[in-house]
Amino acid sequence: MAKKQKRYAFLINLERCIGCNACTVSCKSFYDLHPSINRRFVRETSELLTGTPKRNYISTSCNHCDRPACATACPTGAYIKLDNGIVKHNQDRCIGCRMCATACPYGVPQFDPVKKKMDKCDMCVDRLEAGEQPICVVSCPLEAIAIVDLNEIDESQVVADLPGFADSSITGSSTRFILPKGTTVVRGGIKSWNTL
């Protein structure tokens, strides 16, 4: 039987992420990105994802969508959805019209003010093809970022949507998240305020 084509996607483990930004910085450094742009972002997200207050972080980059709005908007056809799921941007075609940044629900493509073209995560496709993991994956000290095959993943253990993250059904975002576990530890400050 022919081997099924892989569909690569990011799996972000919120239980593990501590918001250290190692992924953002290592990617930026590896690709020598302009100071004003990043391919990966880490931000704080809702403290109530699990029902009890707990600080949570979310690391996101391009979501390598199934129906990429960037590709539909781009007048030069600079974006292609590869068979392996990766949405790749061809900078040689880009003319810097920024339409992709407007159309992407996640505002992912960033304008490089020196090259005057867009830049975005390509899931380190060259490294993946060489059998290596992406830079952000290997640099995360908590192993909170992984590359998974959407054909293999148990979807019941992950989610595609989070508060503050644009509805995944708009473009078919491929990123999956592992939600943080609930905690029984309630911060002293909050507890004492409540019991005052």
Least distance to other proteins, CB of residue 135, Å: 26
User: 57 with 43: CB under 8 angstroms?
Assistant: yes
Least distance to other proteins, CB of residue 90, Å: 11
User: 40 with 59: CB under 8 angstroms?
Assistant: yes
Least distance to ligand SF4, CB of residue 142, Å: 15
Residue 136 touches which of ligand SF4, other proteins, none (Cβ within 5-8 Å per kind): ligand SF4
What is the token pair recorded at 54? 């707990």
Question: Taking CB under 6 A as the rule, which mask of x and - marks residues 113-132 in contact with ligand SF4?
Answer: ----xx-xxxxx--------
* Sequence-ordered list of residues with C-beta below 8 angstroms from that of 2, at least 6 positions apart, any chain: none
* Sequence-ordered list of residues with C-beta below 8 angstroms from that of 74, at least 6 positions apart, any chain: 94, 99, 100
Nearer to other proteins by Cβ, of 47 and 167: the residue is: 167
Q: Is 109 in the site for ligand SF4 (CB under 6 A)?
A: yes
